[in-house]
Structures are given as structure tokens and as C-alpha cells.
A = this chain, B = another copy of it.
């Protein structure tokens, strides 16, 4: 099965397009972890978040930076977390890599074979040969950064090239590359970007979108829903507003409730 077919299935079953972003910032973990071993704390935190939110999530997106920042052992934790998810939801390695062909090949190997992620995020500034190696994997999907959710996303992405914005140009090229690939391509399109989501949806009706920026980043649910054409075509990510819904010992319960509530708003 292609990624988007699995996604459509799981979204229908769970009535949810929600992806829970795993950004286990040590400094924001619930208070009772304070003073305990960081690696064990993050592993316990993440697995409890997964268990509490699984009924309301179609996917999990570990943000690799937060695992890498824990040092070498952080990657062990990342692996344990994906093993704990164990195919019960789709997984997206959020690392935004982008490098020359022989190097991109290694990243793809790492994400798709070492860690067995279903998907990953990629930056396309270096062009086609930096994206292609990720597209060689049937059943896997690559979300390429098109229009991101952060404040500085306009600095380069909105520049006009040949009467269209750079991000529009990137989107067109990436869809072309995807047409000849074994794997699938998707776009990262921030929820904070006003009409951009619906405009890109109109131009690219069949491309799956990964939409970050809901919640802590302030993206609106209405705008997001405007881009929600059909199942398997959009994944809406929220990280901090779910995983840090409470800093008490019952944080997992609060995360589950936050996920349930948001999943319902998004359908």
C-alpha cells in the first residue's frame, strides 16, 4: 500500500486527521520528571503520550532535534518510541534534511530502513538530486517544505520568481518529480499562512499536505479545514498544545483529551 492509502484507511477508522508532534523539550516535561534521568524521562513521557492519544491520531511526528539534543542516547529513545508506536499509526521523521545525492541516500536509508519511519520531511533548496533518493522507496512518502509555518517563512519562500512565489514554484517542481517516483511526495504547508493552504490545494488537488502550526503557533482551524478536501490528503499536526497540555502527573490524560478535542474540531 502507498502511504496515502494507509493514511486514508486509518483516518477513516479513527475519524481523525490529527498528527501528534513529539517535541519532547526536556525543559517543558511535567514537573514530576524533574531531577530524574533525562533519557528515561523522555522515553516514559513519549510512550505515555502515544498510549493516551492513539485513538485520536492518525500519525506521530517525532521532531528529531529534540531527540538529538539529548545526545547519543536520544536516538536510542527515538527508536524505542517508534517501536512503541509499532505501526499502530503512521510515523513521520521530522528532520528537514536536504543534501547532495550520495548523502541524501544515507539519510533516506537511515529514516526508512534503520528507524522504519513511514515518511520524513525534506528541504528542497539543493534541488532535485537532493530529493530523489527519498522517493526511491515504494510505500514511503516524502513531505517537502513548501510554505512553512514560522515567522521567517516569507523571507525566501514568498520571493517572486517568474510571476509566482518561490514556494509555488517549489510546489510545482516537487509534484513533477513525484510523478515519476516509486514513493510519493507531499507538501509541508503551514496552517499560519492564510489563504495559502486553500490556494495550494486548488493547484495540487492530489498531493498530501502535512500542516503544522495549529495550536502553539497560532494557525487557524478554519483555514486548515479549507484545505481538507478528502481523506488521505491532509495531516494536521499539533505538538505543544497536546503534549504539554498539562505539566501534572496526569499529563497523559490531559494530552488524550486535548487530542480528542482537536481531532473532532478537524473533521
Q: Which residues of A contact B (CB under 8 A)?
A: 23, 25, 63, 65-66, 68-69, 71-72, 75-76, 79, 94-104, 106-107, 109-110, 114, 123-130, 145, 148-157, 159-162, 166, 169-170, 173, 217
Contacts and interface: CB of A to CB of B under 8 A. Distances in A.
Nearest to A188: B126
B65 A106 contact: yes
A127 B159 CA distance: 11
B129 A150 contact: yes
Contact of A148 (B126, B128, B156): B126
B161 A127 contact: no
B166 A150 contact: no
A68 B127 contact: no
A263 to B, nearest CB: 23
A169 B173 contact: no
Nearest to A153: B127
A100 B121 CA distance: 13
Contacts of A126: 96, 123, 145, 148, 150, 152-153, 157
